[in-house]
Chain A
Amino acid sequence: MNKKQAFLNGLRDGIPIGLGYYAVAFSLGIIARKAGLNAVEGFFNSILSRASAGEYAGLTMILTHATVVETFLVSFITNARYMLMTTALSQRFSPDTSVFKRIAVAFCMTDEIFGATIARPGYVIPQYTYGLTAIAGPLWGLGTASGIIAGGIMPARAVSALSVALYGMFIAIIIPPARRERPVLICVIVSFLLSYLCSDSCALPIPYVHEISAGTRTIILTVLISAVAALVAPVKEEGPEHA
């Protein structure tokens, strides 16, 4: 397949991804507005980050006046999965792919773009991934900007409803593997439970623990639960390539 055709195919496959992004980014925009970003700032932040959970965590850091170290650690933890994706990606490049192209493709990775890129057989064609990102990336940014603008004029009830779109996306990412694999299911249940027990929402807040910030709670629980899961149920040698 020639490069131009691959790019056009990427644009085509990027449309449904981009439309989903637009809707979800809208709810991110509502949070970005709370964090004090205007539409232009939100657009560029989203286009440069293209990370739902990662951006959400970053905005939470602004809202809670987190420290530099905390912000870095939370960004690292909430985006660690991209490291896993681009590690998998590194095994799929043709040996003659230049370093520049490897970096450019890696920079494009999101859950869905990784899925679409890796789903094609054979070596990765960089132009296909560029096509996906060329359409989905701007829609992600536009969705965020729209959320920032419309978040202020929409009735509170509609804002409340749209603000759960992001969580809906998180749910849609974690549930299918939880259904297929027992260890992931247990991880999800334990995560929900411990996260609740350590939070302010808990019916019987644990002294001191419930005062820990949401970001730090995410780091500690993620490292703790994932490490225990890795010890108790290590993945098979071949391992799943999409994670």
Chain B
Amino acid sequence: MHKYIYLLIVIVTIALIRILPVTLIRRKIDNRFIRSFLYYVPYVTLAVMTFPAIMEATGSPLAGAAALVLGIVAAWFGLGLFPVSIICCLVVFVLEFIL
């Protein structure tokens, strides 16, 4: 398949996901299971995509693992999106220099 077909599927799907609720749902969703399921989806999907992929993205798997641990520590102590990203990058940069 041509890469544009992939990109088109992704762009259209994302646009529909964003737009459909505000046009279709004018009332609150009552079903507790669906609301709970939707509540957990973002965290689970991001967690599944992060590990072990972060170890496969770096030259040395150990550096990726260290970035994960220190990123979690930084986020746990309240650092935001941008600082956590920078810390992960620095950990990999420094460790791959040593290793």
Contacts and interface: CB of A to CB of B under 8 A. Distances in A.
Nearest to B82: A20
A157 B18 CA distance: 37
Contact of B88 (A79, A164, A192, A233): A164
Contacts of A176: 75, 78
Interface stretch (A4-12, A53-61, A134-142, A144-152): A53-61
Interface string B35-54: 11111111111111111111
B64 A164 contact: yes
A148 B92 CA distance: 20
A56 B45 CA distance: 12
Contact of A82 (B14, B52, B63, B75): B14
Contact of B71 (A167, A184, A235): A167
Interface residues of A, number: 103
Interface in B40-96: 40-59, 61, 63-64, 67-68, 71-72, 74-76, 78-82, 84-93, 96
Contact of A175 (B17, B75, B88): B75
Interface of A is mostly: helix
Interface in A32-91: 35-37, 41, 45, 48-49, 51, 53-58, 61-62, 65-66, 68, 71-72, 75-84, 86-87, 89-91
A62 B55 CA distance: 21
A79 B14 contact: yes
A171 B82 CA distance: 11
B93 A157 contact: yes
A127 interface: no
B36 to A, nearest CB: 4
A152 to B, nearest CB: 17
A214 B5 CA distance: 20
Interface in A166-222: 166-179, 183-184, 187-188, 191-192, 194-196, 199, 201-202, 214, 217-218, 221-222
Given A20-B81, A157-B96, A169-B84, A89 B89 contact: no
Contacts of A24: 81-82, 85
Given A164-B91, A191-B44, 13 more contacts: A53-B46, A58-B6, A61-B10, A81-B38, A90-B26, A164-B64, A167-B50, A171-B84, A174-B47, A178-B43, A194-B48, A217-B48, A230-B33
8 contacts: A41-B3, A87-B25, A103-B22, A106-B19, A161-B90, A164-B67, A230-B39, A239-B35
Interface of B: 1, 3, 5-7, 9-11, 13-15, 17-23, 25-26, 28-29, 32-33, 35-59, 61, 63-64, 67-68, 71-72, 74-76, 78-82, 84-93, 96-97
